């Protein structure tokens, strides 16, 4: 029986080169393919991949904003690796690792095209000590 091996979301962007630079320089992805006509790129890191598609759409419109969840095996180790590359981003574009109520440990980054990237892993819920 055939098995699905990967999901690669398409992310719209207004500036393909800026978005490629963001993913490669800040998050450690590797450019696998780029085409200027149409503006398209495929990037990969480990078992994750993203496809970028250049668009002239108004991506500041909240109805066009996107979210991508990327599962990782050690979110804190990944954070420690990429945090120096994210330190100069404007306030509000990066959220350091934290525990979610739905038993995930995550960090969040907003890319150049206003897409929210959530990097996370399963994290057992820890009850607050009583008494």
Can you give the pLDDT of all 131 residues of the chain as single tens digits?
757 667 789 899 999 999 999 999 999 999 999 998 789 999 999 989 999 999 888 877 776 778 899 989 999 999 999 999 999 999 999 999 999 888 899 999 999 988 899 999 988 655 544 44
User: What is the signed CA dihedral for 119, 112, 24, 42, rounded to 10 degrees?
Assistant: 90
Question: Tokens 């590797």 belong to which residue?
Answer: 30
79's tokens: 């954070």
What SS3 state is found at 62? helix
Task: Answer yes or no: are the C-beta atoms of 68 and 9 closer than 8 Å.
Answer: yes
Tell me the CA distances in angstroms from 120 to 31, 58, 74, one per residue in order: 22, 29, 8
């Amino acid at each position: 029986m055939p098995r699905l091996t990967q999901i690669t979301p398409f992310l719209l962007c207004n500036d393909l080169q800026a978005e490629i630079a963001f993913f490669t320089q800040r998050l450690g992805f590797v450019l696998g393919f780029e085409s200027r006509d149409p503006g398209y790129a495929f990037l990969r890191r480990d078992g994750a991949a993203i496809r970028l598609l250049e668009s002239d759409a108004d991506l500041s419109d909240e109805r066009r904003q996107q979210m991508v969840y990327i599962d990782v095996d050690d979110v804190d180790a990944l954070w420690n690796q990429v945090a120096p590359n994210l330190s100069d981003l404007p306030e509000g574009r990066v959220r350091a690792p934290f525990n979610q109520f739905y038993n995930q440990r995550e960090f969040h980054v907003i890319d150049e095209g206003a897409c929210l990237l959530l990097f996370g892993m399963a994290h057992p819920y820890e009850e607050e000590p009583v008494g």
